[in-house]
Each structure stands twice: as structure tokens, then as C-alpha cells.
Chains A and B, each alone.
Chain A
Amino acid sequence: MTELRDVYSILPELLLGALILVVITTDLFLPRRSKWLLTPLTVFGLLLAGAACIAVWGTNRSAFAGFYRVDDLSIFLKGATMLIGILSALFAPAYLRQRRLPLGEFNAILLFSLLGICVLASGGDLITLFLGLELMVMPSYLLAGFHKTDRYSNEGGLKYFLLGSFASAILLFGISWTYGLTGTTQIAQIGARLAGHGISPALVVAIGFLTVGATFKIAAVPFHYWTPDAYQGAPTPIAGFLSVGPKLGAFALLIRVFAGALGPIHADWVTVMVILSVLTMVGGNVVALTQSNVKRMLAYSSIAHTGYIMAALAAYGNAPAARAQQQAIEAMLFYVLAYAMMNIAAFAVVGMLQREPGRFGGLASFAGLASRSPGRAAAMAVLLLSLTGIPPTVGFFAKWYVLLATVDAGLSWLAVVIVLNAALAAFYYLRVIVYMYMREPDGNPAPIDHSLFGAVGLGLSVLAVVLLGVFPGVILDVVRISAASLF
């Protein structure tokens, strides 16, 4: 039965839900000139929800008849979600205003998607997980097609929607097979019932469908075809959100399903995960090398980053002992958080160079940025160095922990593949820095957006990337407690 404590433990979600309603109604009554007030309102609400995450930190219990699992892992992911939400709400307004797109609808749809990620992070049951997933991705389809008078945005949104619905159906089919096999949808019981029975053909089918459905959502190769078009078509700051928000949620799904429900039979799925991880890393990086459009390059490189995070999940599957398993989950959480901060801000910088509608974020628009806007060029340089994984940025430690986890799990060759891929990625990341600092701007340089919200968001993320790179211990303790709550 539902208790009062259950309701208290979902305080962050309740605040987020309330914020959605407040934003929708405020939007109705605000005069056109004052619409910008929605941004501080959304940010304030998300800060409150983030504070609620801190307030419920340390709760480790199942709520709502087992449908919801509130543990430190979920609270950590929810905190990261609020952070992503704050950054998205700060980066988007200027870009939307220049294209005369409505801010109220954007904020509402973004918040719906965030709520979906929170539900996903806490899913204790396959039904909750599926509903959370849909609540997360359905607003994402809308966001991808948000610029509805733009042909590319329409194309990206439609592709994302069609392929995404297809993947959801596949995942749902996998869930129904799992239910048929075990007679339950509760994560904790599925693991217990599958353990020690050996592998049956139906289990192969179930794991197969679950893997395809879930890896589609994180855009792993070979299920990544929607990614570049959806990200390139979406308004740039929204592409930043799409590349981190739904990905965070999908990794929460992977942790819950593979480490939670299928954890006891990890030997049966680890090989598939290793293969997908290698394909994703190499595939994403090789195609990213050939891109001359920075937005598309970031889209492909986000696929490569997915591969690194999947390597950590593979390390979990291959780990000989509980300690190494926990270390792999820690590496995953750290990487997801670090990646979220760097990637969303990198997309935002590309968006700032698209002040004139009709600019597509080509490499040439970065030429000579250092002399035209030193602050933004320096910020972009830090973000790109962090994405490459160069110390003392947070990106270095993120890769370092994934490497440690793979080596401790006995997958040293996978660690070598990661290092080689990071070296490959350095080429296309550093090429943008070369353009910014060593090329003269061309005759008709793109005007730069100098809005206050965007600058604040960029400053915050660069500060976080550098500070967490110098003092990774702060977040490491949080990550350790979070991962421990899974075991």
C-alpha cells in the first residue's frame, strides 16, 4: 500500500510535476514582452527540485508496491537530470527567440522529458521503466522537430519518431517475453527467478529484444542511424539536450535492466555488450573524422562516447567480483555526468555562432573565433579538450575510471581499444581548436550571440568541467555511495 513516506521519497518528481503545471499556466498569462521570465522561473524550479534530491539523499527503499525504487543511484541520476535541465533552459532562449519559436512550449516539453528521465532512474518495475522511457522520448521527438517550419528539423523529428517508436515496440516485446518467462515484471524478482536456471531459447529472444530496444535509445552502432539527422535537424541547443538527456535516461534503463534484472545472468549478455561497445566507439569516431560540420561531428562523437560508457557496462558484466562490478557502475555514473556537462555546452557554443538563421555550424564559422570572441573560444577549447580526455579536465578522469574498470574486469584489450579511439578522437576535436586560434576569419564571419542566459550557462559548465577535473574527489564520493546502493 502507498504510505506517506512513499510520497515524500518522490519529492523531486512531485516538484518537477508541479513546475510543469506552473510553467504552462504562467505562459498563458504572461504578456509577450515578459516571456523571458519563464527561463528564470524554470531554472528556479529545477534548483528547488535539485535541492529536494539532496533532501531525500540516503533514502534506500522500494516505494509504491515495488514499482518505484528510490535509492542513492536514482537520486544521483535525478540530480544530474536537474543539472541538464538547468543548462538546457539557459542555453535555448536566445536561439529560439532568433527563430521566433515559442519559449513556453519549449520549457514545458523539456520538463516533461526531464520527468520521464527521473521516473526511468527510479524504475523498480519493467512497467514503470517503460512508461518513464515513453515520457522521456515522446517530448524528445517533439523537441527534435521543434523548428517546424524548417525542413531539416521536420526530417530529423520524423526519423527520430518513427525509428524511436519502432525501438519502443521491440523493447516492449522483450519485456513481454521476460514476463512470460518469469511471471513478474518486478526488477528484483526477475533477477532472483532467472538465476540458476541456465539459459533457455526464450531467454535468448528476450535478452535479444531488450538489448536491441535499449541500445537503440542510447544510439549504439548499428542502431544509430537516426542520431545524426535528429541532432543536426534539431535546433542546436536542443540537440545538446537530446545528446545528453535521453542518453542519461537510457543508461539508467540499461543499469536497471542489465545490472538489476539480468545481473545474475551477466555471463549471458556480456559478449554482446563488448561487441556493441567496440562497434560503437570505432564507428562513431571514424565517421566523426570525416565531418566538416561541427554539429554533425558532435553528433557522431556523442555516439563514440556512448561506446565508452557501454565499455563500462561490459566491464560490469565481465567483473569477477562484486568490488569490480561496483567500480564499473561508478565509472559509468561518473562518465555520464561528465559527458552531460561537456557535450551540452559544446552544442551550445555551436548554437551561439548560429545567430543568423541559415547558419549550419560549419567548421569555417569557427575560423578566427579567438580574436572575435576570446571568452567563447576559450570555453569551447576547454570543452573540446575535456571531450578529448586531456588532464586537468573532468573528461580525463571520466575516461581514466572507465579504463580502470575495464582493466580490473579482465578486459585489458578493451582498454587498449578505448585509448586508441581517444587518440583518434583527438584529431577532430583539436581541429576545431586549430580553426579557432590559428585561422583568420573569412570575409563574412557569423555574428555571435551574446545573451546573458547563454553566457551564464556556459560559464557554469566550463567552471564545473575544470573544477571537477582538478578536484574529482568531490563527485567521486557521491558516485561511490550511489553505485553502492545498487548492491
Chain B
Amino acid sequence: MVGGGLAVVTLRNVIHSAVAMMVCFGSLAGMYALLGAPIIAAAQVLIYLGAISVLILFAIMLTQAGDASLPAPFHRQVWLAVVAAVAVFGLIVWGAVQTDWHGATRATVLGLTAIAQAIFTTYALPFEVLAFLLLAAIIGSIFLARRPEEDERAS
């Protein structure tokens, strides 16, 4: 997964990056499965590997004209970024290793029925908020994607 992630940001060709991202998504699904969350793993495969990757590839295909290779942006501050990234990574490792995790919860494997019940009873309110979030996203993306002439007709 780490290799896939690194490849996404270092490869110069956008299509190669997109494929590397699929590797990253796939290994994340494997990690979910290993951690005892098969349903999330399945959702990860269906949504990220299936839908989002294809969407990204289509978006690249439709927007890229000519040569797909691009010079890497942001290269001026790369050393500063490396130092910052290593520092944050060190902080995270320190926090993870030095802590007594006795208070952490045991992972329980939930069946599909239990998850469905939780979503529509205990988690009903966050679920509804998500519905509004998606509606806002849809309206916003339609607004942004519309051509200016169509805006004038609407205004």
C-alpha cells in the first residue's frame, strides 16, 4: 500500500499514477479484511476499486489533450517537505509505540444485519446528515460543471 501511495505521487505520467492508486486502494481493502472487517473490505473493492478508479481514468481520458506526462510541480520545497513528513512520521511512530493501549477496544466482527440495524437505529442521525452532504455535493458539482451560458439562462 505504501509503495502504491509513493508511486501515485512520484510517477510523472497521470495514467500510471491512477493505476498505482488502484494498487493502493486494493491493498487497503486487503488490510480491512485482515483487521476483521470483511464488509468494509468488500465496500472498498466495490466503490473505490470499481467505481472511483474507473471514474478517475475516464476523467483523465476526457480532459487530457496530447502528452500525458507532466513535470512534477512543487519541486522547489521538496527537502523541506521531506523533513516535515519524516518529523510527523516519527511523531506518529513514537505515539503508537510508547503508549500502553490497554484501553483500546477489541475489534468485533459484525454481520451485515447488525450493521444495517445500527445504521438505521443508532446511527440514524449521522446517516441523514450524510444524505444532506451528498445532496449539497451534487448541486454544487452541477453548478460548477455547467457552462456560463447555461448559468445566464438560470439566473
Contact = CB atoms under 8 A, between A and B. Distances in A.
Interface in A1-36: 1-2, 17, 20, 24, 32, 35
Interface in B121-144: 121-126, 129-130, 132-133, 135-137, 139-140, 143-144
A201 B98 contact: yes
Interface in B69-116: 91-92, 94-101, 103-105
A105 B126 CA distance: 25
Q: What band does the interface of chain A fall in when counting residues whose beta carbon is under 8 Å from B?
A: 35 or more
Given A100-B152, A183-B104, A205-B91, A109 B140 contact: yes
A470 B108 CA distance: 59
A2 B136 contact: no
A177 interface: yes
Given A64-B125, A105-B143, A193-B103, A134 B95 contact: no
Contacts of A112: 132, 135-136, 139
Contacts of A96: 155
Contact of A100 (B94, B144, B155): B155
A132 B129 contact: yes
Interface string A83-124: 000000000000011001111110011001001000100000
A148 interface: yes
Interface residues of B, number: 36
A110 to B, nearest CB: 11
B92 A135 contact: no
A64 B122 CA distance: 7
A200 B102 CA distance: 12
A108 B139 contact: yes
A324 interface: no
Given A64-B125, A204-B95, A135 B100 contact: no
Contact of B132 (A64, A100, A135, A177): A135
A102 B151 contact: yes
Nearest to B129: A131
B148 interface: yes
B34 interface: no
Interface of B: 91-92, 94-101, 103-105, 121-126, 129-130, 132-133, 135-137, 139-140, 143-144, 148, 151-155
Given A20-B132, A183-B103, 10 more contacts: A17-B132, A63-B125, A65-B122, A67-B122, A102-B151, A112-B136, A127-B126, A131-B126, A138-B137, A200-B99
Give me the 8 closest cross-chain CB pairs, A-B, nearest first. Answer: A205-B95, A202-B99, A183-B105, A112-B136, A64-B125, A201-B98, A102-B155, A142-B140
